[in-house]
Structure 1
Amino acid sequence: MVKKEKIINRPVRKKPQRTHYRSYQPPMASTRERVSSLNIHKIVGRILVSGQLSRQEYVHLITTMLSDNHITDEERPQLNRVFDSIQSGQIKFVD
């Protein structure tokens, strides 16, 4: 005679889920992307004329500035002018 095993129905213990809260971070521009000089000139010109800069544009300009191998000698002073204007309060952030 074959003995039947008794199956005990126990509730399956689930591991507690960890909740990770992340603050919003705008998408970073990839350093591999090459923004043409024309786009940098347009962006910088618009920013200096309007006196306003979005957070996304700021991140884009910072990323461009930090990727030294992608900046031409003409772009660097333009970017420095934008960042100097931000520090002096001439350019304001808008969302």
Structure 2
Amino acid sequence: MLTYDKLVRDLIPDIIQASGKTAEIEVVSDEVAFDYLVKKLDEEVAEFKTDQNLEELADVLEVLFALAQKLGYEEQDLLAKRLEKKNARGGFEKNIVLKSTK
């Protein structure tokens, strides 16, 4: 038996069951889920650092959307805030590395 204590996507228990296995799950409150999502963000970012592919980036984005939702925002709110900040301060297209200021 494998033991986990991590938040998983909503269909994972069904996928496990379809494979002939059983899964013990617990449905937690939004407050508890938020803490698990913060841990999940670390996990997904670490996976992206290792694999550096679109699938891992999509996982990071899904966790960010879930965190925004737990804070009372919609996906569009997060995307709009991203665009607002990009318009005000720029993006990262020019590869600028700040070394110092005087």
* TM-score normalised by structure 1 residue count: 0.30
- Higher strand proportion: 1
* TM-score normalised by structure 2 residue count: 0.28
- Higher helix proportion: 2
